[in-house]
Amino acid sequence: MAKMKKAPRPKAQTPKGFRDYFGAEVTKRSEMLSKIAAVYHHYGFDALETSAVETVEALGKFLPDVDRPNEGVFAWEEDGDWLALRYDMTAPLARVYAQFRNDLPTPYRRYAMGPVWRNEKPGPGRFRQFYQCDADTVGAPSVAADAEICAMLADTLETVGIDRGDYIVRVNNRKVLNGVMEVAGLAGDDKEAERGIVLRAIDKLDRLGEGGVRALLGAGREDESGDFTKGAGLGDEQATIVMGFMSAKRDTGDATVARLLELVQGSNTGTDGVRELETIGELLDAQGYNADRIEIDPSVVRGLGYYTGPVYEAELTFEVTDEKGRPRNFGSVSGGGRYDDLVKRFTGQEVPATGVSIGVDRLLAALDAKGRLSKAGIGPVVVTVMDRARMADYQAMVAELRNNGIRAEVYLGNPKNFGNQLKYADARNSPIAVIAGGDEFDAGKVQIKDLVLGAEIAKNATLEEWKDRPSQVEVARGDLVAKVREILAGQGK
């Protein structure tokens, strides 16, 4: 009889384009999101959690660099319907508002935080799952709502630790670009595909430079890997008009507005867009948000196809070094804009909306680059086990510490080797180890080891200094909590 072949063991590896997040990383993200949520809440926005799964029909055809509704998303068919993981937080909001509009206030102000998924080619720092943090106002037609989002974005960056002067919120209006394309002969339904390529090309200005964008406006561009991206097929004169729009920024907002009015001359849509930018500038100036924090910049277009009016992007301007050691600006960490047609897909009626999305991983990386995040999270106090028969006593110690607001745990591995318990405490980045054996229990005492001080002494101090600054002390069992608090307070200093 043939011998049954064993099934191969599964490979223990993360799928391509995905990553795992461990304790300290999750804690840092949670702390940052908590600060962001506090700003959003302060501005009057309410939290919303939507399903991670939507119908492909509800998500729509809005992802950049794709030509089919189900390309770029993780989708599957179920009972005749195509379902997909959400690729952003905005499309689900449109569905929620359309579904529950009779029960929601108008305007509806909400914020949402969580993972999104994009079935795109992964690369360095580019993952298929990542966190977003959004805030949106649905049902407010005035550009005052857009100005408020920009102000809130500036406040958010400063709250999480980005200094004023290290960021700029740049504002543009999609209507202005539509007016420019109208002047360039790209108006009409038959030019929709070309307009989409133009939008995506301009959005890549920072990454590709003027030459790369110019190529995408024309026949197309081949990247370093040999992949070819089809261009918009514009003639030289048309491309020059579009490129002129991208370089329309001047030294002041008023001068930029004047230049944009020249470029959109003859287009009512473009003129309306410039006037909206002018109003946003006036509203922000009235609140004290000057050009050192928020400025008008025509190069901002945002790649997603659902934007219909003002668009904005937060760029971090401080310098970092790339993987090859070259200096560069950190770049964009947030973007958004007005999307008055998105809810209309469900209701048939235009519903004005505007909002912003923060790239959580990008912002965390920026804070890390600025030294605004702790290198490692503080672990729990570890109560070691010297006598397995006294486990109830050890658990009582831990309960007492926890009930007094101190993070703590009992060592639950094999207690045979005490050295391994201290190694475990080091691996957990524990600040203190509590030690008690039979002698300590009989005497009503407990040993408390300051692991932070011990590490410093072992690294820097002489033997005499060690004697003057003991890292391990014995206290009465009843003084356990008070002594642990005292040591933790000293470590905090």
Q: What CATH code is carried by the domain that includes residue 304?
A: 3.30.930.10
Same domain, 170 and 275: yes
Q: How far is CA 335 from the centre of its chain?
A: 11
User: pLDDT class for 375, splitting at 50, 70, 90?
Assistant: low
The larger pLDDT score, comparing residue 464 to residue 122, is at: 122
Same domain, 362 and 406: no
Q: How far apart are CA 421 and CA 440, in angstroms?
A: 18
Same domain, 363 and 388: no
Same domain, 200 and 256: yes
The DSSP call for residue 6 is P
* Mean pLDDT, residues 405-409: 97
112, 49 in Cβ contact below 8 A? yes
* Boundaries of domain holding 440: 381-492
Same domain, 350 and 387: no
pLDDT at 61 over 90: no
pLDDT at 248 over 70: yes
Between vectors from CA 113 to CA 93 and to CA 115, what angle results, nearest 5°? 95
User: pLDDT class for 66, splitting at 50, 70, 90?
Assistant: very low
User: pLDDT class for 114, splitting at 50, 70, 90?
Assistant: very high
* 296 beta partners: 171
pLDDT of residue 69: 46
Same domain, 204 and 325: yes
Fill in the amino acid letter for 170: R
The larger pLDDT score, comparing residue 387 to residue 67, is at: 387
In a domain, 8, yes or no: no
In a domain, 468, yes or no: yes
Between vectors from CA 429 to CA 427 and to CA 430, what angle results, nearest 5°? 110
Same domain, 335 and 442: no
The larger pLDDT score, comparing residue 232 to residue 163, is at: 163
In whole angstroms, how far apart are CA 306 and each of 94, 175, 310? 11, 12, 12
Same domain, 228 and 93: yes
Same domain, 29 and 88: yes
Q: How far apart are CA 360 and CA 342, in angstroms?
A: 24
Angle between helices 236-246 and 205-217 (to 10 degrees): 160
Last residue of a domain, one of 317, 348, 369: 369
In a domain, 1, yes or no: no
What are φ and ψ of residue 46, in 5° steps?
A: -105, 150
Last residue of a domain, one of 348, 369, 390: 369
In sequence order, which ranges of 90-143 are alpha helices (DSSP H)? 90-100
In whole angstroms, how far apart are CA 163 and each of 4, 82, 137, 372, 380? 65, 45, 26, 11, 32
In sequence order, which ranges of 161-218 are alpha helices (DSSP H)? 174-183, 192-202, 205-217
Strand order through the sheet with 46-47 = 46-47, 108-117, 129-138, 353-359, 327-338, 310-321, 167-173, 294-296
Same domain, 76 and 168: yes
Lowest-pLDDT choice from 15-19, 232-236, 422-426: 232-236
Same domain, 363 and 403: no
In a domain, 14, yes or no: no
In a domain, 457, yes or no: yes
In a domain, 355, yes or no: yes
Fill in the amino acid letter for 487: I
What number of other Cβ atoms are within 10 A of residue 27's Cβ? 16
Counted residue by residue, the chain has a size of 493
The number of distinct structural domains making up the chain is 2
Q: How far apart are CA 229 and CA 220, in angstroms?
A: 6
Last residue of a domain, one of 342, 369, 396: 369
At 448, which CATH number?
3.40.50.800
In a domain, 7, yes or no: no
Same domain, 270 and 149: yes
In a domain, 376, yes or no: no
Q: How far apart are CA 369 and CA 372, in angstroms?
A: 8
User: pLDDT class for 217, splitting at 50, 70, 90?
Assistant: confident
